[in-house]
Structure 1
Amino acid sequence: MSQLKKEITLISGIGQLSTTLMGTGLFMIPAIAAGIAADMSLWAWGILFIAICPIALTFAELGKQYPSAGGTAFFVRKAFGRKLERSVAWLFVSVIPVGVPAAVALAAGFLQQIVPSPFDTALITQVLTVFLLVTVSLMGSKSSGRLQTVIALSIFALIGAFLWKGNITSADMVMPSVSKESIWPITAALGVMFWCFVGIEAFAHMGEEFKNPQRDFPIAILIGCFIAGATYWACSVVILKFSAYGSSNFEYASIPYLSDLLFGPKFALLISILGFSACFASVNLYTQSLARMVWAQAREYQPQGSIAKVSARGVPANATLLVGFVLLISTVGGEISGLNLEFFLKLANGIFVLVYLLAMLAAYKLLTGFRKGLAMVSLILCTLVFICLGWSMLYAVSIFTLLTLPWGRWLKRNRRQTT
């Protein structure tokens, strides 16, 4: 049977997860959250980080005990059987039409500032981004991990430079007073901010490729989440101090604006390169995780099929090409239809939170002792975040309901009746 190569080390795992969590989110979510809740967004970041800790710990325990390229779908299968596994797998795939176009568009927006004319159009740069995603994915997780570690270090350096050049002091980090009126803006901001911590469930698909998954996988999740949370909070402090929020332009351009304000236009090209690299790194892990989820399903149900094969590099090449094709169609469709960033983010968040919720439900059944209690706390937290999403959770619930309906049984019944 085809197997993936075990190439991911602790350092590369931390690099992959931290860049995935910070990638697209760092360049848009702090400004969007500040536009919703102003300085109350600092409280929202703290609440979100506290909430994500037990969820991250639960994912770490699941990945430690059940390392598999199937990720959450595999966890659900172990807990509830094969039927629900397929529904979760396809639910994860359903994020492509709503989540990936926004992420690719953001990355391509930075790429437009780098490539020469006439290739600097939105559509061409988005297609080029998808092509690069597939190319890097085909190189293998080891090469990808090294690349993302370098990108992570560059992001830390950028935020550190903002803190230094912006003369951020302890006075800028004072938490604002909370009142009854501030509760709604905080919860509304949380509905968007959860995007910043989607990536843990995608990272779960990489557990099978760790050299030492029992030791390194949980450590990589915990350290990666801590690094991302601290970076987001620090970035928000800078954005609030210099009022780089409150306009739709800042949804994409808060970081370039701060760079131009603090360092001048001479750093514009460097910011464009770093912005593209960070966004690319985030989408890159999703491309790999989606490919591995498709490969894991093929390995289980059609082991002799072409999708279940791996390349000489130990990469699910055919599954990667299939996912790349779907990404391309979704991205072109998203560009043609026109993107409302916040709308698409909320739809994608609904799917991710539901995937998290199902993973925590599986963890509650699979784990024992203290870990079961931790899973219960995580399940409650995921339910609360799901409620915070409001109307946007209906998309995820509708997709999941359609996927769990007994379509196969109905088709067989109709065939019998027609014959």
Structure 2
Amino acid sequence: MKTDLSVSQGAALSVGAVLGTGLISLPALAADAAGPASLVAWIALIVLSAPLAWTFAALGARYPDGGGVSTYAGMAFGPRVSAAVGWCFYFAVPLGAPVAVGFTGGYVSDVLGGGRATELATFVVIVGTAYTMNWFGLKVSGRVQVVLSVSLAVLLVVTVIAALPHARWSNLTPFAPHGWTGVGAAAALLVWGFAGWEALSSLSGEYRDPRRDVPRATLIAVAVVGVLYLAVATVSVLALGPGLAGSRAPLADLLAIGLGGPVRVITAVVAVVLTLGAVNAYFAGASRLGVALAAESALPARVFGAQRRSLTFIFLSSVAAVLLPIGLHTAALLVTGCFTLVYVIGTAAALRLLPGGGSRVVAGTAFAAVVALLWLNGPTALLSLVIAGGALAYQAARRRPVPLDR
């Protein structure tokens, strides 16, 4: 399945997976939880993302494989842990798709009208487009992703520059209106915006030269994501002030004060580009993970044994998930709980698999940080344990001997 993924395409997929839909709503949600002190949570997550991304890049460069974190967990801890990790990531992707598209649907319906019907139509169009791009292969989806990521970066830079003259230092006070516990609550929400580094490890085997290209693509992505996230979050706090916490569309508000006039169409376009990039990257990584899990007998080969079949399962499950009676906030926390458990086991595997020295220090730093993030997720992290238990139950049932007919 090697497709000679280039550094630029890999970096673009990484940016799309991580930057994702976080900028659509997270500045407002984090400000609601912590006020201006939410910037502390933003900085902490940006700093964390560097060792986390580098750890997965080091694993991908050293052990390129479509199974990604699941493969590394298997190498370090055995097949049962491998299957549990694989299930946590794989089945979290369809549950996360409605969350990823949910806020975007609100932007689009604000422009076109139609309410819930427009939101569902937006979901079908974005998820269907990502499905189609991946159906025709990673070369197609990777090239499209480069265009999406460049367009996204330009739009966000314009937004920040337009709003910057309206920034006021006075909007930093009171700095922590909800106390420092609010920073922890904001950090738990912001995990959603930084999930994605693990998704691209499943694509490591498709680079032209994984040992050389995976670290290069990751370094580019870390720099782009960190700069854009911090710039948008900082300007949002300084320019929008107390109004940020109650904003349903912080990007639209930034453009409105910066450029004036009707900006709803522009922000809807930004939201669609962000979301399509994220869904495309996750579909690409997860569909290959499904094939790898089927090859290890951790999933039924008839359903998941080929990339297009695995991709189709993710697409159909995403459509089914959008009909579940779960709020976007709750669903986001459930998904981040699954991803955080994947991070915990993935970084623990890195401590066993990577050579000594600097690599293990970086992996150890990432491991300590993600354990703390798992604790911050609270009860919603229990879904990851349920999914992991399902993986273990499937393996036990599959290995159970069939009684002979008498």
Q: TM-score, normalised by structure 1?
A: 0.86
- Which segment is superposed worse, 389-398 or 400-409? 400-409
The one-letter amino acid of 1:269's match is V
Residue 233 in structure 1 maps to residue 230 in structure 2: yes
Structure-2 residue corresponding to 1:312: none
Q: Residue 115 and residue 210 in structure 1: after superposition, are their counterparts in 2 closer, same or farther (change >3 A)?
A: farther
Structure-2 residue corresponding to 1:373: 361
In the TM superposition, what is the alpha-carbon distance from 1:177 to its structure 2 partner? 9.3
Structure-2 residue corresponding to 1:146: 143
In the TM superposition, what is the alpha-carbon distance from 1:135 to its structure 2 partner? 0.6
250, 256, 263: which one pairs with 1:260?
A: 256
Q: Residue 376 and residue 115 in structure 1: after superposition, are their counterparts in 2 closer, same or farther (change >3 A)?
A: same
Matches within 5 A, 1:69-218: 69-96=66-93, 98-112=95-109, 121-168=118-165, 172=169, 182-218=179-215
Residue 404 in structure 1 maps to residue 392 in structure 2: yes
Distance 1:195 1:23 in 2: 9
In the TM superposition, what is the alpha-carbon distance from 1:95 to its structure 2 partner? 1.1
Structure-1 residue corresponding to 2:312: 321
Q: Residue 174 and residue 124 in structure 1: after superposition, are their counterparts in 2 closer, same or farther (change >3 A)?
A: closer
Residue 361 in structure 1 maps to residue 361 in structure 2: no
46, 54, 62: which one pairs with 1:65?
A: 62
Residue 223 in structure 1 maps to residue 214 in structure 2: no
In the TM superposition, what is the alpha-carbon distance from 1:285 to its structure 2 partner? 0.9
Structure-2 residue corresponding to 1:346: 333
Distance 2:220 2:336 in 1: 23
3-state SS in 2 of match to 1:200: coil
The one-letter amino acid of 2:260's match is G
272, 276, 295: which one pairs with 1:276?
A: 272
The one-letter amino acid of 1:351's match is C
Structure-1 residue corresponding to 2:244: 245
In the TM superposition, what is the alpha-carbon distance from 1:113 to its structure 2 partner? 5.9
In the TM superposition, what is the alpha-carbon distance from 1:417 to its structure 2 partner? 11
Distance 1:80 1:111 in 2: 45
In the TM superposition, what is the alpha-carbon distance from 1:91 to its structure 2 partner? 1.3
Distance 2:356 2:137 in 1: 37
Residue identity over aligned pairs, in percent, reads 25
- Which segment is superposed worse, 88-97 or 404-413? 404-413
In the TM superposition, what is the alpha-carbon distance from 1:24 to its structure 2 partner? 0.7
The one-letter amino acid of 1:26's match is L
- Summarize deviations over 1:356-404 as a string: whole Å, max 9, x none: 0010111111112112232222211111111112222222233324433
Q: TM-score, normalised by structure 2?
A: 0.89
Question: Is the 1:77–1:85 contact (alpha carbons within 8 Å) kept by the matching residues of 2?
Answer: yes
Question: Aligned residue pairs: how many?
Answer: 402
Contiguous gaps of at least 5 residues in structure 2: none
Distance 2:267 2:106 in 1: 12
Distance 1:134 1:184 in 2: 40
- Summarize deviations over 1:91-114 as a string: whole Å, max 9, x none: 112314542211122333344467
The one-letter amino acid of 1:242's match is L
Distance 1:405 1:306 in 2: 18
Matches within 5 A, 1:20-35: 20-35=17-32
In the TM superposition, what is the alpha-carbon distance from 1:297 to its structure 2 partner? 2.1
382, 395, 398: which one pairs with 2:383?
A: 395
Distance 2:178 2:261 in 1: 40
- Which segment is superposed worse, 146-155 or 21-30? 146-155
Q: Residue 35 and residue 128 in structure 1: after superposition, are their counterparts in 2 closer, same or farther (change >3 A)?
A: same
Question: Is the 1:107–1:129 contact (alpha carbons within 8 Å) kept by the matching residues of 2?
Answer: no
Q: Superposition RMSD on alpha carbons, in Å?
A: 3.1
